Amino acid sequence: MPGLRTLALTVAVRGGAKWEDEARSGWSHCLEHLVFKGAGDMGARDIVERIEAEGGSLNASTGYERTSFEVRALHGSLPLAMQILSDLVFRPTLDPDEIEREKDVVAQEIAEAFDTPDDHVFEMAQTQAFDGQPLGRPILGSVASLKPITRASIGDWRARLYSPDRMVVAASGAVDETELLALAERWFGDQTATPAAAPDAPRFTGGDAALTRRIEQANIVFQLPAPSARDPSYAAARLMTEILGGGMASRLFQSAREERGLAYAIDAYHEPYEDAGLLGVYAGASADRAVELARVCAAEIRALAEGGPTAEELARAKAVMNAGLWMSDESPAARAGRAAAQVLIFGAPITSGVMAERTLAQTVDDIRAAAAASLVPRRAATAVLGPKAAAPAGAAFRAALFG
């Protein structure tokens, strides 16, 4: 990216919680924590001090399908960034004492997620959507599933998860391609692959969950099946989600908040995995109006499935989505992360121009069809966390949607 003085480097692995069995639930996330406790010739403090000494920052994240390590740094810092990320994924120390300490840290993270209603309600909904499957278990795992981790077992898991045949190095910003390729060969080119068995394709099961807590507001999530990242109708589903609840002009914001005052926060989202997807709605509402809110949400989804959007709604959604795309193009971190994900999913990066063209090509009928497809299985996953009076909202959503 000409004119920039900073760069972004991402090392992304096609592996995460989706590759775990129930006994190893949370191991990928715990491993991501552990590699920062020491790698190569560096201790935990050395890792961050070396990066920050050159004005950089280091971060990582674990999802269901990918684990990513990211460095933002000044021009000229690429050699150091490549060395450190290589050490983290290939040469972590995995000290037994650090492993035991980090189990306690992750246990606190699990407790914090449980204590945060608008976090825990999404875990509840995810479990209902993919019950009994890796996608239905929390990325953090549980205290019980983390307890058996030893240096040998987590080391074996690292070799399987961070295998170079499932790894992409992506960089953007103030980067010289020749230098990048040489550094990639030096720090990533001599690793031995340890192939892992591919996980089974997920199945959307559906179901209702309710948890009563003495809090002021009900936290509510409704989910339906939606296209995967590889599905040809992906672009239509993204636009449909934007029209449904993507912003202040969306149908849900206008009908649920502006017209009826049912919720302060309400939005829709599309979660695309490689071979599955979710259309979701999240809202925070008073318990005594949760059922009414559920019926409004169902009515708006059904209206899109039966009548589709207006031409004006579709044009606005296209403008919003493409604006977000071009804005992300101005961020080195967004570009590097997006390119890495695309290579892992599709085998090659997709240009922003191609993505924008796909968005613009969608029609009113395409959007209607995408909404209708989410209703075909007649399955929904719902989660309600809050006062007891809100608990019937899940059943009310299902009844209003499917009769």
Pairing assessment for the beta strands 67-74 and 57-62 based on DSSP bridges: antiparallel
Give the closest residue to 71 by CA, choosing from 99, 96, 36. 36
* Residue 32 known to be catalytic: yes
Contact 202, 226 (CB under 8 A): no
378 backbone φψ class: left, alpha, beta (φ>0; ψ -120 to 50): left
Question: Which pair of structure tokens corresponds to residue 210?
Answer: 């309710």
Cα angle for residues 396, 402, 403 (degrees, 5° grid): 75
Give me the residue label for tokens 């390590």: 69
Contact 118, 92 (CB under 8 A): no
CA 230 to mean position of chain CA atoms: 16
For residue 297, count CB atoms less than 10 angstroms from its CB and return exposed for 0-12, middle for 13-18, buried for 19 or more: buried
Give the closest residue to 54 by CA, choosing from 31, 34, 81, 35. 81
**Helices (runs of H) and strands (runs of E) counted in the chain:** 16, 11
Give the closest residue to 137 by CA, choosing from 102, 110, 176, 172. 110
Contact 198, 96 (CB under 8 A): no
Contact 337, 70 (CB under 8 A): yes
Give the closest residue to 381 by CA, choosing from 14, 63, 132. 132
Other beta carbons within 10 angstroms of residue 347's beta carbon come to 7
Residue 60 phi, psi dihedral angles, 5° rounding: -155, 160
Which position among 32, 65, 70, 313 bears the catalytic label?
32
Could you tell me where the DSSP H helices lie in 347-391? Answer: 352-360, 364-373
Rounded Cα gap, residues 203 and 200, in angstroms = 9
Question: Which pair of structure tokens corresponds to residue 27?
Answer: 């191991």
Beta bridge partners of 209: 383
Query: What does the DSSP 8-state code read for residue 150?
Result: -
Known catalytic residues are 32
